[in-house]
Chain A
Amino acid sequence: MRIIPNEMESLWTLFTAPVVWALHFLICYVSVAVYCAKSSQISFGFDVVRLGVVLVTIMALALIAMSGLLAWRQWGFGTHDPPHDDPTRHDRELFQGFATLLLSGLSFVAVIYVAMPLLFIAECSP
């Protein structure tokens, strides 16, 4: 069994990167909000939350990079130029690969932006 499939058959791969972005966004905001609301009952410090978010961020970036890599492969590593607008199976695949690649790039940058506040915000406000 292969972990990485040979071929992209489903439209769902298109959404992988934005879904990772959305989940990462939720995890960042929910974990900090819950921690700060309950900080009086929690024994570990805020730095643990920050470290956790850094780890989640690295995982999210890795997933998105992988999605981008697969998309790049599906797009033929850039050997074909857009627009892929012929009504053929081949062009549909190239189009999906290219679109997935662009979405992966967007999601990659967005995940970094979402995580950036944690670099600077070191405590809950009282």
Chain B
Amino acid sequence: MSGFSQVVRGQAVERPPYPRSPLRYGFIPILMFAHGCAGIQSTLEPTGAEARQIATLFWVMVIGGSVVWLAVIGTLLYAARWKGEPHSAQSAGRLILWGGAIFPAVVLMALLAYALWLMPSLRPQSGEPPSAPLRIEVTGEQFWWRVSYRSKNHEASIASANEIRLPLGQRVEFVLKSSDVIHSFWIPSLGGKMDMIPGRTNRLSLLATKVGIFRGPCAEYCGTSHTLMAFYAMVMDPAAFDIWLEAQSQPSEELASDGKLRFISNGCGSCHTVHGTEATGTLGPDLTHLGSRESLAAGILPNTEEAIRRFIADPDVIKPGSKMPAFRMLPEDDLQAIASYLKGLK
């Protein structure tokens, strides 16, 4: 023990090679950290019941960890600077036993117990429908999200893609699946993440406590365009949500255009469904109400006519590895007409 403190004491006299006060730059990581705390995709700005508990857990752990860290650094400084007599072997041994074994074991046990105690409420189980009034089935696909709503007000399930809407203050049960590789479903503002595993059905229940638009990334590496796989989650007033869901269950109103003909004649319908037309493919996302979604191509493009045109022409450039074939050989007015038709599907 005493040998150790002498060595450290010896070194402390020499000037370190870096600038005298490294604290001067301390604000940089703090700023970076603080920047990540706010926004539409942040665990630390919770807008859901589960996310709030996770945020509390986070702060308890940070504060607990900081106290331990300060105690360790304090002891280190004391050992390095203190100029008194070395401790007797007996009191040093006692310090190691209490400070190095018993104290950490008790603190870790308390923190572990707290985290475990939170667990059941972080993963509430709403049970099988009809007890859960709204169930949203989300299937991870390379590199987009297949979405299907099942509500007690509707006989059939309502198909959608790449966007999730949920009513404020109502528990929603998510049924999570995958059609190819492991993905992970995560809306940090609302709750914890849950893996989507091929051949399995995982469940997650979320309760949103604030109206707004939030973002969810795919949280498990799933292939080349994994980082281009995200979605927006909209928390709506329950009344507005019911009206929206009712509209989703109907075909979109059609504007007079020949875009629909070109959409059909170019074979888009073999992979995409547009309700009320002969397009009934299910390999790609349902496009029935594409025009009213917040974003395009799983959260990566703004939903504008121009972006739709670009995506139809060059999906392989915008999203490498995507299963959507490129249609850059189509004449410009075909692309334009199809894009404006799709944008019109509200």
Complex contact B120–A120 (CB within 8 A):
yes
Residue of A nearest to B203 (CB): A126
CA gap between A120 and B118 in the complex, in Å: 9
A120 touches B101 (CB 8 A): no
Q: Which of A19-27, A41-49, A111-119 lines the interface with chain B?
A: A111-119
Could you say which of B123-131, B162-170, B329-337 contacts chain A? B123-131
A117 to B117, CA, bound (A): 8
Chain B residues in 8 Å Cβ range of A34 = none
A121 to B120, CA, bound (A): 7
Q: How far is the CA of A102 from the CA of B317 in the complex (A)?
A: 60
Verify A113–B117 contact, CB threshold 8 A: no
Interface size on B, residues (CB 8 A): 16
Contact with B along A89-126 (1 / 0, CB 8 A): 00000000000000001000100110011011111011
- Flag whether B283 is at the interface (Cβ < 8 A): no
Q: A115 CB to closest chain B CB, in angstroms?
A: 11
A116–B109 CA distance with the chains assembled, in angstroms: 9
Residues 51-73 of A at the B interface (beta carbon under 8 Å): none
Query: Quick one: which of B76-133 are within 8 Å of A by CB?
Result: 89, 101, 105, 108-109, 112-113, 116-117, 119-120, 123, 125, 127-128
Contact of A116 among B89, B113, B120 (CB under 8 A): B113
Q: A105, B101: Cβ atoms under 8 Å?
A: yes
Give the nearest-CB partner of B201 in chain A: A126
With A112-B109, A113-B112 already in contact, the answer to whether A126 and B117 are too (CB < 8 A) is no
Asked whether B109 lies within 8 Å of A122 as measured between CB atoms, the reply is no
Residue of B nearest to A122 (CB): B120
Q: How far is the CA of A14 from the CA of B26 in the complex (A)?
A: 47
Q: Are the C-beta atoms of A121 and B119 separated by less than 8 Å? A: yes
Cα distance A72–B329 in the bound complex, in angstroms: 82
- Cβ of B128: which chain A residues have Cβ within 8 Å of it? 126
Q: Are B112 and A116 in contact (CB under 8 A)?
A: yes
What residues make up the interface of B, taking CB atoms closer than 8 Å to A?
Answer: 89, 101, 105, 108-109, 112-113, 116-117, 119-120, 123, 125, 127-128, 203
Interface, chain A (partner B; CB < 8 A): 81, 105, 109, 112-113, 116-117, 119-123, 125-126
In the complex, besides A81-B89, A120-B120, A126-B125, 4 extra interface pairs with C-beta distance below 8 angstroms are A112-B109, A116-B116, A117-B116, A120-B116
